[in-house]
Structure 1
Amino acid sequence: MGKLVNHPCSPYALAWATNSIMAAGCDRRIIAYGKEVHVLQTFDYSRDPQELEFTTAAASPGGQSVVLGSYDRLRVFNRSPQRSIWEEAKPKEIANLYTITALAWKRDGSRLCVGTLCGGVEQFDCCLRRSIYKNKFELTYVGPSQVIVKNLSSGTPVVLKSHYGYEVEEVKILGKERYLVAHTSDTLLLGDLNTNRLSEGGEGTDFYQVRARLAMLEKNYKLAEMILLEQGHPALENLCWSYYQWLMDTQQEQRADELQESQGDGLAAISLYLKAGLPAKAAWLVLSREELLANTELVEHITAALIKGELYERADDLFEKIHNPQQALECYRKGNAFMKAVELARLAFPVEVVKLEEAWGDHLVQQKQLDAAINHYIEASFARCSIKAIEAALGARQWKKAIYILDLQDRNTASK
C-alpha cells in the first residue's frame, strides 16, 4: 500500500476509468488524475448554487464513461479517444430523487441503476444510439468504443469493443450473417457470432491480406484477386483453393461453383452446379460457352438432369441448340411449352402440328382457360376436334362461337 495523491477533500465519489482516476467530494469539484497521478482535468461546480456535494461515482465496464451522483442530479463524462480528454454530456436532473448513494452498471454497459438515500432505485438506458441491420440484428452503441450486436430472432447479444479505446465507426455483418467486421480510425475489429470469439488487427487495415480477406467476405472475389495480384502474392492459388475447400466443407456448393465460374473453370462449375441440384444453371453456362456446347457427353449429362428435374423447357432449349429437334420437341411437349413446340414442328415436323394444337387445347381446358382453347381446337382440325371445340365454347359461354362452329359441321356431326 502507498499514497497516490492528496485530494482537496474526502473523495466520496471515486471511479477508475480509462487512463484516469476520477475523484470528487464535498468541494463540488471533479478532478481527473492521470497514470502518473497528475491532474489531467478539473471540472469546478463550486459556484453553481444548484449543485451539492458529489456522493458516488461509477465507471462504465469499458471505462469510456463515468457517472457521478449528487443531489437530484447525474453528471456524465465521456472519454474522447481523438482528443484524449474527458467531455461532459448534458447532466440528467431528476426532481425529488434526493441524494444519490449508489451507482451500478450492467456488465455490457447498456443500463445504469441508481440507488437513493430514500430507498428508491431507478434504471436508465445508457446507449448513444440504436439501429437495425437488415431487420435481423439490433446494433446498440453503448459508448464510443463499444457496440452490442443482438440477434433479433434468438436474442443472443455479442459485445464488440475496441480495447484501444477507439471509436467504432462502422459495423457490418458478413459471411452468411456469421462474421462481424467493424472499423475504427486505426484498427479493425473482427468477431464470430457462432463462437463469440472477438479480436482487434492494430494498424493492419491497410495490409493487403486483410483487404483481400474482407473482399472475399463481401463476395467480391475479383477485387480480392486483384489485391493479391498487385502484391505478387505467391500463395494466390492456394488461397483461392483454401476458400473453395471451405465453401465445399460448409455445404455452400452454389458459391463454390460461382467462384469456379468466375475463374473461367467452366467444367468444374458445371460439376458443382449439378452436385448442388442446379441443372438449369449448368445449362445456362453451357449455352453461353461454345466450347462446352461441343462436349456431347457433358450436354447429355445435363439434359438428363434437366429432364429428371422436369425442367423440360430448359432441356429443349439445349436440344434445339445442338440440333436435335426430335428431343427438343418431346421436351417442349412434356414441359407444356406448346408455343415453342408448334413453332418448331412447323419447321421440322409439319405433320405433328395438328396433334400439338389439340394437346395445347386440352392443356388450356385443364387450366380452365376454355375461351383460349377454342381456337387451338379449330386450328387442330374440325374432323378431329369439332366436338371438343363446341364443348369449350359452351363451357366458356361463347354461344355465338358455338353456333358458328356448328354451322361449319356437316349434319352428322351436328346431330351428335
Structure 2
Amino acid sequence: MNLLHLKTLIPTQEYEAKVQSIAWSPNNKKIAVCTSDRLVIIFDENGERRTRFSTKPSDSKNDGNLFQVRGMAFSHDSIKLAIAQSDNIIFVYKIGESWDEKVVICNKFPQKCPVTCIAWPVNQPIICGLADGKVRAANTRTNKSSTIYNADSYVVSISANITGKGFISGHADGKIIRYFFDDDGSGDAQGKLTTHPTAPYALAWAGSTILAAGCDKRIYVYNREGKLVQQLDYSKDESEKEFTIASCNPSGHVVAFGSFNRIRVLSWSPRKGGWDECKLKEIKNLYTITAIAWKQDGSKLVVGTYCGGVDLFDCCVKKKLYKKIFELNYVGPSQVIVRNLKSNNTIVLQSKFGYEIDDVKVMGKNRYLVTHTSNTLILGDLRENQLSEVPWSRKNPKERFYFGYDKFCIIFGSGELYVIEYGVNEVLGSVRTEFTTPFLISVRVNERKSSNNCTCKKIAYMLDLKTIAIFDFITGSNVAHVSHDRKIDWIELNETGQKLIFRDKKLQLILFDIETGVKVMLLNFCYYVQWVPQSDVIIAQSKDSLCIWYNTESTDRMTSIPLRGGDITDVVRQNGRTEVLINEGVNSVTYALDDSRIEFGTAMDDGDLERAVSFLESLDVTPETKSMWTKLGFASLKAGNLLISEQSFASLGCVSKSRYLRQTRNLLMENKLSKSNVQACIAILEKDFRAAENIFLSQNSIEDVIKLYKDLLKWDDAIEIAEAKNWSGLDKLKKAYHHWLTETGQEEKAGDLRQKDGDFNGAVTLYLRAGVPGKAARLALIEPEISSDRVLVERIIMSLTQCELYEKAGELYQNLGQSENALRCYRQGNCYQKAIELARISFPSNILQLEEEWGDYLVTKQQMDNAINHFIEAG
C-alpha cells in the first residue's frame, strides 16, 4: 500500500491547534473536519472547502470555549452529522444533501458525564463512550439514549465492524469489550474480549481480527476469541512514539495507525492469513496525528494533526491502464476501483469474502467486469453499477462468458451451464447440457411484470437434439419436457416464462404452453421468428409472408401480411411504435404492427386493466375480441375490480353475472359491504362456496353463511354450520327446513331429519306418507318407543304388505309376538329361511311342509340342485 500526498486541506500551524476529529461521509461526497476552535469545516471529495458551522455548547449560558469535540460520525444517508462533546452532550446536525441547505440541530442527547468517543454504525443507533466507563446508545428516532453496558473504566476508543452489526470499546484499564446488535450467526461471545497491556487509544475492528495499540509502541492483533495472534513491536525504535489513533478502511483489509510524524499502514494478506506492514509514510514536521478518516471506497485517506494540519492522501497498491479506457486502482488485496477514463464513472470491485483479487477483465462491449479470486468469481455491470460475487472453484481457461442479457450472465464450462444474476451473491442456478449455442438456450429473469406478480426465473435448454427441458430456478425443479420428432435448431421463452416457441431443422414452428403442456403447430415453413419485446405477440416469416399472432391463446387467428421480397432482420419497439425491420437487399423497409392489439396483451400481463378496457372498447365485437373480454373479465374478477368485471361480462352478454356484480358494487359503495365480504361475493360468483364460507366465518358472520346455503338450497350445510357455531336460530332454521321439505314433497328427507332430531313418531308418519315403509319398519325394530305402540306398528305392517315387503312385515309381527302372522308373511314373501327358523321355535310340525314349499319355490327359480336338498329334508 502506497500513500501519495494529494493535497493540504488546512495548513499546519506553528502552535498547538489540534484537529479534534475528522469524518468522511458514506456517500464519499463530504469530509467534515473539526478544528481546535470547535469549528466544523466541510470539504467535498476533492478537498475543496464548501461550508462550515460552529458547534454549540450544551448550555448557552456557559462559555463556548470550555468544551472539546471528542468525535464526529456521519449517518448512513450522509445527511446528518453527530458530534460528541466533552460538556456532556451529543448534538446531531442535519446538514442536508446539497451545500446550500441550512445546518440545523435535529437531536440532542445530554449525558451525565463527558462524552469521550463516538461511532454511528449502519442502520443502528449512535454509540458513545463516556468518561465514567458507560457505553450508551442514542436513538435519533425517539430522541432517547440508554446504557448498553458499564465497564467502570474511562472509554478511550470505539470501533464498529465493517457490517455495522457490532462494535468494540477500549478502556483506560486496557479492557476491550465486544458487543453485537446481530452476530450474523457467527456464535462469537459478547462481553470482555481481552485486556490490552495499555489503554488502546488506537483501536480497529478489521474483519475477523481486532487491532489495538497505545503508548507501548506495539500493535497487537487479536482473533475472534481474544487471543493474541500477531504482534508488531516498534518499542526498540527510539524515533517511534506512541500510537494515538487507528482507522480501518471500509473493506476491513487495510488499517492506518497514526503516531508522531508517521502513518503506518497494515494490509491483510488472505493467503498468509495475517497482516503485512506496508511502506512507512513518514512526514517531517507533521507532528502527532490526532484524527484519521477513510474514503468509503478506500482510495483516499485524510489525516489531521496536533498542529492543525489536515492532509489528503491517495492510497493504492498499484494502478493499471486497461485497454486505454479503464484505470484499475488496486487499493487493497481484495478491492479494486475501476474508473472509465472517458465517462469518469467508477465502480468499486470488492471481494465481500475477503479473497485476494487475481485479475480484472472488462468484457461484453466494455460494459461487464469479470474477476477471479482464489475461491470466488466477481461479475459487475458497469452501466448499472451492480456486482455479484459467487463461490467459484471451477476456474477453467476454457470457460466462456455470454453477456447477451442485461440482468444476468451465462457461463459455459465443463458441460455445465451457470446463470448468475447481477447484484445477487449466489449462482442463480445451473444445468447440464452440451448444447451451448445461444440459439438453443433461453433464459428469462423477471423481464416483465406479470398480472399475478409472480417471480419468473426460468431456463429452456436442450437435453438432446430433439428434447427441450424447462427448469425453474426458484423451485429448483424441471417444469416441463418437450419432445419432438425432428432436430431442433432454435428455442425461446416468452418474457413471463409461460410459453415457448421452437423451430426444427425442417423449419417448422411450434408453440408450447408450459402450464397446459399443449403443443400447437404455427407454421410449416419459417425463416425467422421472434417474440415482440414487452409482449406475448409472435412475429415470423414464412416465405414471402409476415405472420403475426397477436393473441397466443387463439393461435388459429393469424394475421398475414405479404412481403415484397427480403428478409426480416429485427423487431423494434420504442416510442409507442412497434416495427418489423426488413432487409430487401439495397433498401431496408419497416412494417408497423397493430400496437393497439399488442397493447391488450401487454396491459393484461402488466395488470393494467383500465388500459385493456380502453383498448377493447375501440374494437368491434368478433370471436377474438370476445375471448379477450372473457380473459379480462376473469382477470379483473381475480383482482377484485368489480366495475371492469361487470363491464366485461356485460359485453359478453352474461346479464346475470353483470347484474350480480352491479348489485355487489352498489352495496360496497353504500358501505353495506366490507372488502372481505366483496371477496366472498366473488368466490360465490366463481362457485367456490367453501372459500366464501371461510371468509364469512373469519368475520363471525354466521347469518351470512346460513343465508348463502339457504339461497343455494344447501340446507344440510346451513344446519351443520348452525350446530357447529351453536347459533341461536338453529330451531327456527330446522322448522323452516321441515316446512320446505314437506312443501316440496320430500317427506322421506323430512323423516330423516325428524329421526335425527329424535322425533321417531313423526319420522315414521313421514316415512309412511312418503311410501318408504321399509325405513319405518327399520326404525320400529330398533326403537322401543315405536315397537311398543301397537297401533303404529299395525300401520307400518299394513303399509309393508301393501308394498309387498313381507320379510319386514314378518320381522315386525315376530317382534310383536304374533308368530302365526309372522310365519304367514314369511311364506308370502318366500322367506323360507326365516320361516323355518321361526317354525323350529313355535311350529315344529310345520317344518317338513315348509321345506317342501321351499323346494317347490326353488324349482320355479330353476335352482334344481338346491331344491333336491330341501325335498330330501321334507322326506
The two structures share one fold, judged by TM-score above 0.5: yes
* Residues 251-270 of structure 1 mapped to structure 2, 5 A cutoff: none
Q: 1:307 to 1:175 in 2, by over 3 A?
A: closer
Counterparts of 1:145 and 1:265 in 2: how far apart (Å)? Answer: 49
- Aligned match of 2:401: 215
> How big is the shift at 1:235?
7.6
Other-structure match for 1:305:
584
C-alpha distance after superposition, 1:264-299 (max 9, x if no partner): 989999969xxxxxxxxxxxxxxxxxxxxxxxxx9x
- The 5 A counterparts of 1:118-137 are 118-137=307-326
CA distance in 2, matches of 1:271, 1:133: 39
Distance apart, 1:216 and its partner CA: 2.6
Q: Which residue of 1 aligns with 2:157?
A: none
Q: Which residue of structure 2 aligns with residue 4 of structure 1?
A: 193
Is 1:192 aligned with 2:377? no
Whether contact under 8 Å (2:370, 2:380) holds in the other structure is yes
Give the equivalent residue in structure 1 for 2:359: 170
Q: In 2 relative to 1, CA 129–269 (structure 1 residues): closer, same or farther, beyond 3 Å? A: farther
Aligned equivalents of 2:268, 2:249: Cα separation in 1: 11
CA deviations 1:366-407 (Å, max 9, x no partner) are xxxxxxxxxxxxxxxxxxxxxxxxxxxxxxxxxxxxxxxxxx
What RMSD in Å do the two structures reach over aligned CA positions?
A: 4.1
Measure, in 1, the Cα distance between the counterparts of 2:526 and 2:304: 65
Could you list the per-position Cα deviations for residues 45-72 of structure 1 after superposition, in whole angstroms to 9, with x for gaps in the alignment? 1111110111111111111011111101
What amino acid is the match of 1:25? G
- How far has the Cα of 1:30 moved from its partner? 0.7
Shift of residue 307, structure 1, vs aligned partner? 3.9
Per the TM alignment, residue 227 of structure 1 is displaced from its structure 2 partner at its CA by 3.6
**Distance in 1 separating the partners of 2:444 and 2:256:** 51
2:251 to 62, 77, 83: 62
CA shift digits 1:168-214 (9 cap, x unpaired): 11111222222211100111011122222211111353599xx76x4
Q: 1:233 aligns with which of 433, 439, 444?
A: 433
Are 1:44 and 2:239 matched, yes or no?
Answer: no
**Residue 343 of structure 2: aligned partner:** 154
**1:92-103 alignment runs, 5 A limit:** 92-103=281-292
Correspondence for 2:819: none
CA distance in 1, matches of 2:300, 2:289: 17
Q: Deviations over 1:13-38 (max 9, x none)?
A: 11111211111111111101110011
2-structure distance, mates of 1:109, 1:145: 11
Residue 331 of structure 2 corresponds to which residue in structure 1? 142
Higher relative helix content: 1
Residues 225 and 236 in structure 1, CA contact (< 8 A), matched pair in contact too: no
Classify the secondary structure of the residue corresponding to 1:306. coil
1:68 is paired with a residue whose SS is strand
* C-alpha contact 1:174 1:181 (8 A) present in aligned 2: yes
Report deviation, 1:98: 0.6
Q: When the two structures are superposed, what TM-score results if normalisation uses the length of structure 1?
A: 0.56
**Structure 1 residues 16, 270: CA separation in 2 closer, same or farther (over 3 Å shift)?**
same
Tell me how far apart the structure 2 counterparts of residues 5 and 226 of structure 1 sit (CA, whole Å): 49
- Output aligned runs, 1:275-294, within 5 Å: none
1:245/1:197 CA distance change after superposition, 3 Å: closer
Q: For the pair shown, which has the larger CA radius of gyration, 1 or 2?
A: 2
Change in 2 beyond 3 A, CA 1:17/1:26: same
* Structure 1 pair 153–28 and aligned structure 2 pair: CA distance change class (3 A): same
Write the distance in 2 (CA, Å) between the matches of 1:136 and 1:266: 46
Q: In structure 2, what is the equivalent of residue 369 of structure 1?
A: none
SS in 2 for 1:215: strand
CA distance in 1, matches of 2:528, 2:204: 63
Kept after mapping to 2: 8 A contact 1:11/1:25:
yes
**Could you tell me whether the CA contact under 8 Å between 1:174 and 1:218 is conserved in 2?**
no
Contact 1:72 1:98 in 2 (8 A): yes
Distance 1:167 1:225, change over 3 A: closer
C-alpha change, 1:96 and 1:36, in structure 2 (3 Å) is same
Partner-residue secondary structure (3-state), 1:113: strand
State whether residues 15 and 59 of structure 1, in contact with CA within 8 Å, keep that contact through their aligned partners in structure 2: yes
1:224 shift after superposition: 4.4
The amino acid across from 2:300 in the alignment is: R
Cα–Cα, structure 1 residues 4 and 245, in superposed 2: closer, same or farther, change >3 Å?
Answer: closer
From 189, 203, 208, the equivalent of 1:19 is 208
2:442 aligned partner: 242
Unaligned runs of 5+ in 2: 1-148, 150-190, 406-410, 418-430, 447-488, 491-503, 508-524, 530-562, 568-582, 589-875
Tell whether the 8 Å contact from 1:166 to 1:184 is kept in structure 2 after alignment: yes
Sort the Cα spacing of 1:270 and 1:50 in 2 relative to 1 into closer, same or farther, 3 A: farther
Structure 1: runs of 5 or more not aligned: 247-258, 273-297, 310-416
One-letter identity of the residue aligned with 2:348: V
AA aligned to 1:14 is: L
Q: Residue 187 of structure 1 contacts residue 205 of structure 1 at CA under 8 Å; is this kept in 2?
A: no
Aligned partner of 1:85 in structure 2 is: 274
1:339 aligned partner: none
Tell me whether 1:72 sits opposite 2:261 in the alignment: yes
Q: Which amino acid aligns with 1:121?
A: V
Contact 1:150 1:156 in 2 (8 A): yes
- Kindly state the Cα deviation for residue 137 of structure 1 after the two structures are TM-superposed: 1.9
Alpha-carbon separation, structure 2, partners of 1:41 and 1:270: 69
Alpha-carbon distance in 2 for matches of 1:164, 1:271: 46
